[in-house]
Structure 1
């Protein structure tokens, strides 16, 4: 029974089935000499290191003269810490990019001359409203995948033109992905449904901090300053910056929850609440991110602890991961 639980936990944390099965076999061998472990698994030490590479690289196991394997609880804590660190690093990179806006705009901000010869960043500031016409022109003159963050989803007459342009892009073979806040499930479910129907892949986070759009490897667009206001919008074509912004989006995408079944709002909210608990967020932070009252958060936390038979928030996160809820 313990093996089945470990496999469920490991696949919930993003490992493939092979790595999950290997983890369940190695767990009871924790502390054994490596030569004995290899013999027990009917393999060589070199082959064991090769097949266990995903577990080694992620820090779940350590192979030296002896085998060290983190227990399920320690694995969850370690993976959450790694994810939080990557997300923070990506966020810090994006903030640094936003500070380059004056340089993009051609203002007085410049690097110290001692660093090297100055070269202008490829891009410009779009001071006008980002209209459907602008989006349609961008779609028609570019190629590659399109991704975006939308912190606020409003029902606007122009929304259908955006959706129509997205549908045309998807029909031409381009992939479109968007990340939205959980509040959009409550306030704009019809907009999300229409986007899903035309083929947009949608995931949900408790909150989305800023507008952002990346087109292929050629355009990264975000407001200055970062936030919910869409203008002025910075359009950067500098490849290195586009790659950093893309990495930021991908980190958020990994953390976000699929929104394929928008009708199951209570389930989506519960999973987001569990993810917040597992990350160590406080009640006040959770209330802000989920758009509910502090009293509601505390009531739902108490209900979840009781449902999961957990005595602490972290234990609830571990148990939820084991059950495949996260």
Structure 2
């Protein structure tokens, strides 16, 4: 059976296979004159250095006088780990400055602004509308008309009136494939909104937990990041930033938090069972579909589809029969 995954340390570190093959050829010549190593690879010294440029820039290959020094794989790994650690530290510093920068953008949005304008282009957009429906519509359009993974910090949004629509948006976005959604919640969300988390996990979103989540945030691929005007839980003003450096810094901040976060006790399969149990409990209590949608933080359409699927799974023609059969199977 063919082994999947990276074939070497360098490809695991993200270098192209061609660069790795050249590295394997020259590493045995480490410490020898550049001209001699180049001749061994049927290149001129200039051509060899050009082909080795990604490794030179990474510090894995260097010239010491006339000699070409090639670090072994273990040292290459150490160098790249140090580089990534420094990169992550720079990202944190950039995020510290981002708090102030975003606040300044939001403040500038009110300078010389016509009272009827709702957005002001200040190296991005500062959305000042107070209508939650408009905020949701903007997020929906950005997600639907973009590509790339979705990274969410969600400290409290499940309490909002549009949470069921957001869950439906995630389900639609992931249904088409080619992208993923990851979200970090505070641990108390498992107590306050288990249905909302179960619905998102059942739709395919990867969920992790932290004791506290510092701010709301959504990163969309490598093109947009949505942040409050001042990092925290406020909705208005909402800043939509398109600068690549800021989007990259926000994504790196998310990744640092993601590494510290823990997965919930239940996985995706368990989340589906949890959602099924929640639905059955709601049906057994006599709740209407609209109330179930509000309680679970999912859309009315999703509730009706999942109830229909559940009844089909139980072989029931009515909701009463579904409750009886679910009790017989020990699902309640």
Sort the TM-score into its range (normalised by shorter chain): 0.5 to 0.7
What is the 5 A alignment of 1:205-220? Answer: 210-214=215-219, 217=223, 220=226
What is the 5 A alignment of 1:278-317? Answer: 289-290=261-262
Q: Equivalents in 1 of 2:13, 2:131: separation in Å?
A: 38
2:166 paired residue number? 162
| Bigger Rg over Cα | 2
Deviation at 1:251, TM superposition (A): 3.7
Question: For residues 132 and 87 of structure 1, do their structure 2 counterparts lie closer, same or farther at Cα, with a shift above 3 Å needed?
Answer: farther
1:213 counterpart SS class: strand
Cα displacement string for residues 259-306 of structure 1 (whole angstroms, at most 9, x for unaligned residues): xxxxxxxxxxxxx6xxxxxxxxxxxxxxx75589xxxxxxxxxxxxxx
Deviation at 1:148, TM superposition (A): 2.9
What is the 5 A alignment of 1:209-248? Answer: 210-214=215-219, 217=223, 220-222=226-228, 224=230, 226=231, 229-237=232-240, 239=242, 242-248=243-249
The answer (yes or no) to whether the contact 2:127–2:236 under 8 Å persists in 1 is yes
Which region of structure 1 is more displaced relative to structure 2, 153-162 or 88-97? 153-162
Which region of structure 1 is more displaced relative to structure 2, 74-83 or 97-106? 97-106
Q: Which is bigger in relative contact order (C-alpha 8 A, separation at least 6)?
A: 1
The answer (yes or no) to whether the contact 1:214–1:245 under 8 Å persists in 2 is no
Deviation at 1:167, TM superposition (A): 4.6
Cα displacement string for residues 32-76 of structure 1 (whole angstroms, at most 9, x for unaligned residues): 111111122222222212221221122211146211112222212
The answer (yes or no) to whether the contact 2:124–2:240 under 8 Å persists in 1 is yes
Deviation at 1:139, TM superposition (A): 2.3
Deviation at 1:84, TM superposition (A): 1.6
Paired positions, count: 238
The answer (yes or no) to whether the contact 1:33–1:67 under 8 Å persists in 2 is yes
The answer (yes or no) to whether the contact 1:136–1:165 under 8 Å persists in 2 is no
1:76 paired residue number? 77
2:315 paired residue number? none
After TM superposition, the score normalised by the length of structure 2 is 0.54
1:314 paired residue number? none
Q: Equivalents in 2 of 1:218, 1:190: separation in Å?
A: 25
Cα displacement string for residues 63-117 of structure 1 (whole angstroms, at most 9, x for unaligned residues): 462111122222122111111222222222222121134434438xx9xxxxxxx
The answer (yes or no) to whether the contact 1:155–1:191 under 8 Å persists in 2 is no
Q: Equivalents in 1 of 2:162, 2:27: separation in Å?
A: 55
Deviation at 1:190, TM superposition (A): 5.8
Q: Equivalents in 1 of 2:89, 2:105: separation in Å?
A: 24
1:54 paired residue number? 54
Question: For residues 77 and 203 of structure 1, do their structure 2 counterparts lie closer, same or farther at Cα, with a shift above 3 Å needed?
Answer: farther
The answer (yes or no) to whether the contact 2:123–2:241 under 8 Å persists in 1 is yes
RMSD: 4.7
Deviation at 1:12, TM superposition (A): 1.5
2:45 paired residue number? 45
1:144 paired residue number? 146
Q: Equivalents in 2 of 1:290, 1:167: separation in Å?
A: 23
The answer (yes or no) to whether the contact 1:183–1:290 under 8 Å persists in 2 is no
Question: For residues 141 and 90 of structure 1, do their structure 2 counterparts lie closer, same or farther at Cα, with a shift above 3 Å needed?
Answer: closer
2:88 paired residue number? 87
The answer (yes or no) to whether the contact 2:185–2:210 under 8 Å persists in 1 is yes
The answer (yes or no) to whether the contact 2:32–2:67 under 8 Å persists in 1 is yes
Q: Equivalents in 2 of 1:134, 1:203: separation in Å?
A: 23
Deviation at 1:141, TM superposition (A): 7.0
Question: For residues 220 and 256 of structure 1, do their structure 2 counterparts lie closer, same or farther at Cα, with a shift above 3 Å needed?
Answer: closer
Deviation at 1:31, TM superposition (A): 0.6
Q: Equivalents in 1 of 2:123, 2:198: separation in Å?
A: 37
